[in-house]
Structure 1
Amino acid sequence: MVTIEEALRIIEDQKITLQRETKPLEESLSYALAANTVSPFDVPEFDNSAMDGYALCGLYQEYKLVGEVAAGDSKDISLKDGEAVRIFTGAKVPQNTSAVMMQEKTSVKENTLFLDEMPKAGQNIRKKGGQLKEGQKVFEKGHILNPPSLALMGSLGLAQLEVFSKPQVNIITTGNELVKPGESKTEGQIYESNSYAISGALQQFGFEHHQKTQIQDDFEATKTGIKTALDSCDVLIISGGISVGDYDFVKQSLEENGVNELFYKVFQKPGKPLYFGRKQDQFVFALPGNPASSLTCFYVYVLPLLQKLSGYVRTGLATYQFPIKHPYENRFGRPSFLKAAVFDGKAQILDGQGSSMIQSMAKGNALAFVDEGEKLAEGDLISCKLIS
Structure 2
Amino acid sequence: MDEVRSRSEGTILSVLPERAHDLARLRVLAGRGDWPVVTVVGKYNHGKSRLLNELIGTNAFAVADRRETVALSAHVHEQVRWLDAPGLDADVASGDDEHAHRAVWLESDIRLFVHAAKEGELDARERALLQALRDDGERTRRQTLFVLSQVDQLADEAAQRKVEAAIEAQASGLAWLAVSSTRHRQGVDGAKKLLLEKSGILALKTALAQALARVPAARAHEAALLLGEMRGQLQRLCAERQDALAGLRRQQAQQRTRFDQDLAAVLSQVGGDIQTVLDVPGPDHSLTPDSFADQFKMTPGKLERNRLQVAYSKACIKIGAILTRHGAMDLPPAQQTQVKSLDSVMVAVMGVSVKYRKDLQRLFCEAAGRAALAQDFTRYFELSADRQALAARIGQARSDAQAAERAMAAMAVLEAGA
- The TM tier, using the shorter chain, reads under 0.3
Bigger share in strand: 1
Task: Name the TM-score, length of structure 1 as normaliser.
Answer: 0.25
Higher helix share: 2
**Larger-gyration structure (1/2):** 2
Q: TM-score, normalised by structure 2?
A: 0.23
